[in-house]
Amino acid sequence: MAMGFLGFALFLFLSLDLDQGSPSSASAASSSSTSQNVEITYGTVLKLMHEKTKFRLHSHDVPYGSGSGQQSVTGFPNVDDSNSYWIVRPEPDTSAKQGDTIPSGTIIRLQHMRTRKWLHSHLHASPISGNLEVSCFGGESESDTGDYWRLIIEGSGKTWKQDQKIRLQHVDTGGYLHSHDKKYARIAGGQQEVCGVREKRADNVWLAAEGVYLPVTKRQFSAKYFIMHTYVT
């Protein structure tokens, strides 16, 4: 099991765009211990865990049957599904590079690892609760402001770390990324609705969980390293 996860981590790492060319060397460290003080940087591939229900933010190549008809986004109950991986990306046309830390208040994008589409929201109604629909949209060369989410760290933290509770506020609509125990009965049976809600609630808090965490870039060194972390719930 550990070797399989390590192989998948290596695949994820090699799939990333390296802004500064190929690394001269790389090493992988596997850890299932404490997540304290692990910085989240651009290029990190992670799962976001809904703090209240422990479901993972998830997408798959299944469109909504209502609203926008775009690729659906749900909360997934199992830990080991590869459709729950997201790549942390900056806004386009910024100076941010892979390996840079991410301060609270920064606008980020989340790219779905499997389909390469962006976590997106708009004014369409979500299928179950009628809140703001959250979907996946676009692709490598197609992204707009509907893909922009402001990182808000709960508490006193200044940069995003794995053990911190966060909220993601959609820039265009003001809605917070939200989930709850309202579940789909058919196509995504057993998965719960993910939507946008404009009020701060306990149900719109998330934590970084499993993933391949790229450490802070040391500009003076040519070597790059990455750290694989699991999250113990």
Question: Residue 77 burial by CB count (10 A; 0-12/13-18/19+): exposed, middle or buried?
Answer: middle
Question: What are the structure tokens assigned to 180, written together?
Answer: 């709850």
Cβ neighbours around 43 below 10 Å, total? 25
Cβ neighbours around 174 below 10 Å, total? 14
Q: Is the pTM above the cut of 0.85?
A: no
List the pLDDT tens digit at each of the 233 positions of the chain.
444 444 454 445 445 553 433 232 233 333 343 556 899 999 999 999 999 999 999 999 999 989 899 999 999 999 999 999 999 999 999 999 999 999 999 999 999 999 999 999 999 999 999 999 999 999 999 999 999 999 999 988 899 999 899 999 999 999 999 999 999 887 677 899 999 999 999 999 999 999 999 989 875 343 444 556 565 55
CA 100 vs CA 41, 92, 197, 215, 220: distances in Å: 5, 15, 29, 8, 14
End-to-end CA distance of the chain: 18
CA 110 – CA 33 distance, rounded (Å): 25
CA 114 – CA 177 distance, rounded (Å): 20
